[in-house]
Structure 1
Amino acid sequence: MVTRTALAAVAGLASLALVGQGGAISPLEWDAGPLTVSALPRIVQTAHRGGAREVPENSMSGLVAAYERGTAQVLDLDTRMLRDGTMVVMHDATLNRTTYMGGPVDALDRRDWEGVRLRPGDGLPGSWRSERPPTLAEVLDRFGGRTVLILEAKDPRSLPTLAAMIRSRGLTRSVLVNSNHPAVARRAHRMGLVSQLWRSARQMRTDRPERWRSFVDVLDVDHKARDRDLVRAVRSGIPRVWAHTVATPAERDRALALGCDGIITDAPGRLARAGGQRAAGPRGARP
């Protein structure tokens, strides 16, 4: 295992949940200026789908809880387009897994969406009510400028709509647009958006990430990838390299030791409470 990279600021992840007056949880603010991608700390923790092992994924109540708990600096969510062009927050192409309904998401329009209700997953801590999954406009209006957001564009055809929604709210520097496709990341970059590209462990075996450094702002890599593939990503020249989808402190610590400077997790609260160990040696150099 490569150990050249220090786990700088890992201990800080344990203190992200700040208790305010009267025991209320207050979100952590890491910079006095605007909450933009460039203002993020050196080591970043992202709540994947709001933290899907702790809250109902891609729900407004889950995103609010993740934000108020302060255990992540970035909120991640998935976006899809309805048949009338409305952008909504949903991971799957169908409603079957996470709602009480079935059928394809893109067969619905905005009026239909009003009748959709999420089904909270079994085993989530706490008590969660059924609710309508949010539209993207609702999420941007609630969190835009208050925290950094990742929007995974599940429908590449929606990119112009996403760009217009982000621009009209003045959020081009605080929203990452994510995709598994380098061509989509390139298009997002050309539109003036902050681009993120995610890659699976299998893809990373043959990827040459240095080819993407001119248009990818964050490379989102599978933590299950081989050590040498993670190190190649870290040394690619891409400004930030984050590991997904991390579930345990050991997985987090390995990714950070190999040089990743962020993790994407379904359990941000658990990892924030767990803390971490600081590895010896300097942080691995990047081009």
Structure 2
Amino acid sequence: MPLETLPVISLAGEPDALSRELGESFRTFGFAMVRDHGIDPDLIARAWDLTAQFFALPEAEKRSYYLDGLAGARGYTPFGTEIAKGARLHDLKEFWHVGRDLPAGHPLSASMPPNVWPARPEGFRQTFETLYGEFDKVGARILSRIAVWLGLDENWFDPAIEDGNSVMRLLHYPPVPDAESGAIRAGAHEDINLITLLLGAEEAGLELLSRQGEWIGVSPPEGALVVNIGDMLQRLTNHVLPSTTHRVRNPEGERARFSRYSMPFFLHLRSDFPFVTLPQCISDENPDRYPVSITADDYLQERLREIGLRK
């Protein structure tokens, strides 16, 4: 199956066939593209508009929403803060994080701070609270199909992601006509979480690293989502489902003068979820790589230190 045939899969398909199509795409590429996800196009259009409006605000105003000590978990993270694991230069991006709000006294509150919201643009909070909820639902549907492909009950992931530490990131990659030599918009990396759902960006640049060591562009059709496996699901499945390296390369020529906006939803486990390798993913040929169990939050904090968001 050549990489150029990365399929676009309809989430409205027959459930068993959908499990098979998603499982095969994730097993082969670590990525899938999905359509018919049901998120309102008008909501998505508002979200793109508000994202551009927020990042156009004065630098001092944006920085007033940077919360020191939170490792970027909520609010604003300035340009040049995040760095890919093992990279020499920081990424050429700034971003805003929206997370899950928990009720007062919730046992997971210590690992999930409350959201902060900017005073402008108008409608920001309402739009992104709604979009967060939509991403949450679509992600759970995709996980239910992955569960079936793995031989689990379709509801297996439900308690594992209930009140999960999922984060929606609004990303701005500014124009790069004078980029620091060697720095790129997002260095080669794998995602930390279970799965990532990504709304397609107007500007090109997303690439995945093939098994043959070649960088391949990923350009979803209009309205479709790119979905990829994160390190947490790779760990849980003992690498049966691979977390594939990807990056956002710099534009060339005239496009270097344009901003790029992107909107990934990083679907996470509950902070107190204990990693125990799925038995059906262990064999003589694929022995358990992770015999020592840690919690999802332990793993997250370790990775946040690696990418420069936590000291």
TM-score calculated relative to the size of structure 1? 0.25
TM-score calculated relative to the size of structure 2? 0.24
